[in-house]
Amino acid sequence: MANDWKSFEPLLIPDIPNLQDIEVYEENGGYDALRKILDDQDTWSRKSVVNEVKQANIRGRGGAGFNAGLKWSFMPEPDGGPRYLAANGDESEPGTFKDRKIFEYNPHLFIEGALIASYAMAVDTIYVYIRGEYISWVEMFEEAVQDAYDKGYLGDNILDTDISIDMEITYGAGAYICGEETAMLESLEGKRGYPRVKPPFPAQKGLWGRPTTINNIETLANVPLVINNGADWYGDIGSEEHPGPVLYGISGHVNRPGVYEYPTGVPVMDLINDVAGGIRGGKDLKAVIPGGSSTPPLRADQLEGVTMNSDSLKDAGSMMGTAGLVVMDEDTDMVEVLWRIAHFYHHESCGQCTPCRDGTGWLEKILIKIKNGEGEMKDLDLLLDLGNQIEGRTICALADAAVWPVRHTINRFRDEFEAKVKKSVHAVA
């Protein structure tokens, strides 16, 4: 896509002052997608909405990248009982700070998307779960929801139809794990955030045992775009296998950190140099974590031609994750960075599964030993071995997310780790 991205006009966070005001949102075509569907439910049956979104291939922006419409299609037929949409605004993956921008800047786009999703899945109640630290954004978002109720977009008989959907806002109290979808359901039910064993999947047994779909905030904000413009139009934005606009969160050693909206598929180096203004202090780039702390870091020399979409990042040896890029300059100590990531996962392990509860602790302990200059060469292999024994042996993916950066940081920056460990007595030189 070369330089096409430079002329892209933002869709999720367009340059429109006071877009958070419902009147401004309406003046700019807001709630048209919802109206279009509800006014013509013969054309826009529940099933055809699901199909349109499925065809658009909105890949989950919370990190997993799963086709949102396909996820919706897993919901069973209505049986007269309650059905839920749980919108995940718990963003806590280090390097990720984009959903708060939607709450602050374009909350109605998300509300409209959540309403369309709820119509498509015959959901009657939407729970929006926001991380507790985001209390400032919770308060802002509460106002937007109240405005939507006052205007008849939420509540009973929406836009004078027989469709009734409620939206309830709730928030956490500090726990990364609650961003894991089933842990979030537990937290919504007022419990400790312990991920659930799957199956049963939330679509079968979710909140209070009822069918539930969990979608990320940004994912749902993409839905009105698809309804307004069609799946084909959406599919032409960005990369073919991973289309649409994305909120790139760029942080670390760059001149202009922040959240920027561009299509998927922008070259990583363009995001760093052109969008974020290059590396601070004119230094050289050492590494990039492309999509939040759990996605493997890439060395500067691995980045040639790499673009921000799942296929390209997979080929390069990483993942799209949350599109939260963490940029590190040439002076960065990768051992310190990896220890800090390991500390995070150790701290945030919920403690349910032994391989994670104990394993993340051991990863951190060994890394502390190495960073303090007390490690030995064999500790590097011990870390890799430990990772192999943790991965895939737990209820949720937190343990895997802890292992990937350890494995790939050691493999890709091994010389830095070796330089910190004590020389073996058998060393020849």
Partner 1 sequence: MAELSFTEEELEEIEKIKAKFPTAKAATLQVLWVAQRKYGHVEPDVQKLVAETLDLPASHVHGVASFYTQYYKEEQGKFVLDVCTCLSCQLCGGYEILHHLEDKLGIKAGETTDDGMFSIQEVECLGACGYAPMLQVTNGVYVNNLTKEKVDTLIENLKNGKKPEFESMAMPELEKRNQAAAE
212 binds partner 1 (CB under 8 A): no
Q: How far is the CB of 406 from partner 1 (least distance, A)?
A: 14
CB-wise, 71 or 253, nearer to partner 1? 253
Beta-bridge mates of residue 299: 287
Contact by Cβ (8 Å): 421, 375 = yes
Whether the CB-CB separation of 142 and 111 falls below 8 Å is answered with: no
d(CA 228, CA 405): 39
Closest distance to partner 1 from the beta carbon of 42 (Å):
33
348 binds partner 1 (CB under 8 A): yes
Q: Is residue 409 part of the contact set for partner 1 (CB under 8 A)?
A: no
Q: Does residue number 205 form part of the binding site for partner 1 (CB under 8 A)?
A: no
Between strands 258-263 and 245-252, the pairing is antiparallel
Tell me if 131 contacts partner 1 by CB under 8 A: yes
Selected from 155, 230, 258, 361, the binder of partner 1 by CB under 8 A is: 258
104/65 Cα distance (integer angstroms): 24
Which of the stretches 97-105, 112-120, 377-385, 390-398 binds partner 1 when contact is defined by CB under 8 A? 97-105
Q: Which of 198, 215, 205 is nearest to 81 (CA)?
A: 205
3-state DSSP assignment of residue 128: strand
Which of the stretches 93-101, 225-233, 301-309, 414-422 binds partner 1 when contact is defined by CB under 8 A? 93-101
* 176 belongs to the binding site for partner 1 (CB under 8 A): yes
Looking at the Cβ atoms of 251 and 309, the one nearer to partner 1 is 251
**Pairing outcome for strands 298-299 and 285-289:** antiparallel
Give SS3 for 89: strand
DSSP string, 130-179: E-GGGHHHHHHHHHHHHHHHHTTSSBSSGGGSS--BEEEEEE-SS-GGGG
**Angle made by CA atoms 204, 158, 28, in degrees to the nearest 5:** 105
Contact 49, 122 (CB under 8 A): no
Please report whether residue 132 would count as binding partner 1 according to CB under 8 A.
yes
Size of the site for partner 1 (CB under 8 A): 66
Per CB under 8 A, 275 contacts partner 1: yes
Q: Does 107 bind partner 1 (CB under 8 A)?
A: no
Q: Which of 72, 97, 404, 417 binds partner 1 (CB under 8 A)?
A: 97
Instruction: Give yes or no for residue 274 binding partner 1 (CB under 8 A).
Output: yes
96 is an interface residue for partner 1 by CB under 8 A: yes
Which residues in 6-45 contact partner 1 (CB under 8 A)? 6, 10, 13, 15
Closest Cα to residue 314, out of 383, 419, 425, 404?
Answer: 404
Residues forming the site for partner 1 (CB under 8 A)? 6, 10, 13, 15, 82, 91-97, 100-101, 104-105, 131-136, 168, 170-176, 187-193, 208, 249-253, 256-260, 274-277, 289, 293, 324, 326, 328, 332, 336-337, 340-341, 344, 347-348, 350
